[in-house]
Amino acid sequence: MKRLVLTLALLALPGTALASPIALYVAPDNTYQNTTNNPCVFYGPGGSGCNQNPAGWSTVGDTGGGTPFVPNPLVNTYGDAPGELALFAQYVGRDFYLGLDINDTSTPQTLDDLTVNFFNLGGTNIGSFTFAPATSVPSISNGVGYADYILAAGCSTAVVNDLCLLNGYLPFSAPAGTRSITFTFGLDGFNDGADKLFLISAGPTPVPFDDDPPTSVPDGGLTLALLGLSLTGLGVVRQRLQ
């Protein structure tokens, strides 16, 4: 089997933040499944789709066409309205990986597009990950709904036979100030059951997004101290005027 772990030099995309590479690893057998490590982001035609998603989760399904099927990159954005980013924070958290479940019968599919982009309140791209080049992703027969591949920002442990050992995946992490997350995705050659890209929280519990720091409000003791200094200052000024 050809090596699937990819490295990519940092590159600047027009109109985006500096892009970091997305690494592709073979998933450990029957470890990550989209019914438990949900929610789903995309699914291809056929099969049951992403019916295990939490209520209200936005999912893109592609009905496609052509022989072989060649989709345009699918796009899914999670933002502030109507509460999508809050739902993302609740189910996934700030740090996450992606699981790719491939269901093909004879013709291997090709992952030809995947980006993860983070935007702030003003719409500026403050973090970007890109996968390249187009790579064949045959099914590894991990079972229904199980990830065949894991996509991450890298591996902090050793990589052996395309596996990131000890699940040492480096997560995609939403920078402070993130107000929307956009994914693009494209597979060449959808066939058989639904292929699925789903989110895997990087910890046992979701890590909340970093937010803009709240306006600090002095506590009672500090308020009294400031008031005392103010009154002392007024007293000094009054003495000088007399």
Q: CB of 52 within 8 A of CB of 35?
A: yes
Domain ranges of the chain: 11-241
- Asked, as a colleague might, if the bond just before 133 is cis with ω within 30 of 0, I would say yes
Residue 228 has pLDDT above 70, yes or no: no
Share of the chain above pLDDT 90, in %: 41
Residue-wise pLDDT for 208-220, tens only, equals 887 654 434 444 4
Which is more confident, 143 or 174?
174
Residue 61, beta-bridge partner list = 43
This prediction's pTM: 0.79
Which is more confident, 63 or 170?
170
Share of the chain above pLDDT 70, in %: 74
Region 188-192: mean pLDDT is 74
Region 162-175: mean pLDDT is 96
Give me Rg for the CA atoms of the chain: 24
Region 101-123: mean pLDDT is 89
What confidence score (pLDDT) does residue 158 get? 97
Residue 32 has pLDDT above 80, yes or no: yes
What confidence score (pLDDT) does residue 17 get? 56
What confidence score (pLDDT) does residue 144 get? 75
Residue 226 has pLDDT above 50, yes or no: no
What confidence score (pLDDT) does residue 2 get? 35
What confidence score (pLDDT) does residue 50 get? 79
CA angle, 114 as apex, 113 and 116 as ends, to 5°? Answer: 150
